[in-house]
């Protein structure tokens, strides 16, 4: 409960203190975009969903300036979308994982992906495909499995490199070529 309150305070402070992109907008879409609408932010969220969770790996995959990546990660942590999880004590190292609030972005990411597949397609086909883990069914437009009808969440799906995946696609290096999004 305390954590939830802290997250809420952090995200409200963030909107109130930092420059707002959409001042005067009493709109939940505008408020969400204040948190996740900056350049690169949704691609950071995408990479973490695909299992790219360490700073240097994110930087290499995204190819962005380290200070820009650090700023995006700090903002997502302050907003309670990501949290830092230690994976080494000596030397101290951490990786980034999605909180429950962050995992709730999954339908947004998936919606953008399927919209892009349809309206801004890659030459070789979809770079990433998502399926119901353990079932193999595709995800329909309503977030349900096309094969078994189950309502899907980030916890019940996995992503695989699709036919249009580049040689650098992170899932080409993933064990079994697939990543559970909430792993
Ligand atoms: Zn299914």
Neighbours of ion ligand 1 (CB under 5 A): 132, 135, 137, 145, 147-148
Domain boundaries, the chain: 2-99, 105-180
pLDDT digits (tens, 9 = 90+) for 70-106: 999 999 999 999 999 999 999 999 999 999 999 999 9
CA atoms of 172 and 161, how far apart (whole Å): 6
Between the CA of 9 and the centroid of ligand 1 the distance, in Å, is 38
Between the CA of 146 and the centroid of ligand 1 the distance, in Å, is 7
Between the CA of 91 and the centroid of ligand 1 the distance, in Å, is 42
Residues 153 and 106: beta-carbon distance below 8 Å: yes
Nearest-10 Cα torsion for 105, 108, 112, 118: 130
pLDDT of residue 180: 82
Between the CA of 104 and the centroid of ligand 1 the distance, in Å, is 20
pLDDT of residue 93: 92
HEC per residue, 27-62? CHHHHHHHHHCCCCHHHHHHHHHCCCCCHHHHHHHH
pLDDT band at 173 (very low <50, low <70, confident <90, very high): confident
Between the CA of 69 and the centroid of ligand 1 the distance, in Å, is 36
pLDDT digits (tens, 9 = 90+) for 65-74: 999 999 999 9
Between the CA of 142 and the centroid of ligand 1 the distance, in Å, is 13
pTM equals: 0.84
Q: What percent of the chain has pLDDT over 70?
A: 89
CA atoms of 142 and 111, how far apart (whole Å): 10
Q: Which CATH number fits domain 2-99: 3.40.50.720, 1.10.10.10, 1.10.3720.10, 1.10.10.60?
A: 1.10.10.10
């Amino acid at each position: 409960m305390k954590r939830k309150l802290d997250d809420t305070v952090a995200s409200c402070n963030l909107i109130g203190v930092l420059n707002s992109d959409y001042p005067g907008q009493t709109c939940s879409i505008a408020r969400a975009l204040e948190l996740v609408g900056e350049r690169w932010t949704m691609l950071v969220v995408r990479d973490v969903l695909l299992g790219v969770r360490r700073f240097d790996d994110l930087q290499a995959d995204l190819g962005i300036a380290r200070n820009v990546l650090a700023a995006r990660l700090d903002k997502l942590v302050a907003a309670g979308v990501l949290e830092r999880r230690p994976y080494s004590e000596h030397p101290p190292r951490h990786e980034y994982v999605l909180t429950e609030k962050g995992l709730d972005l999954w339908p947004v990411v998936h919606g953008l992906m399927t919209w892009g597949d349809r309206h801004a397609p890659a030459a070789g086909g979809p770079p990433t495909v998502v399926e119901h883990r353990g079932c193999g069914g595709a995800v329909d437009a309503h977030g349900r499995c096309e094969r078994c009808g189950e309502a899907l969440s980030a916890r019940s799906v996995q992503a695989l490199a699709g036919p249009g995946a580049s040689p650098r696609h992170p899932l080409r290096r993933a064990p079994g070529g697939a990543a559970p999004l909430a792993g």
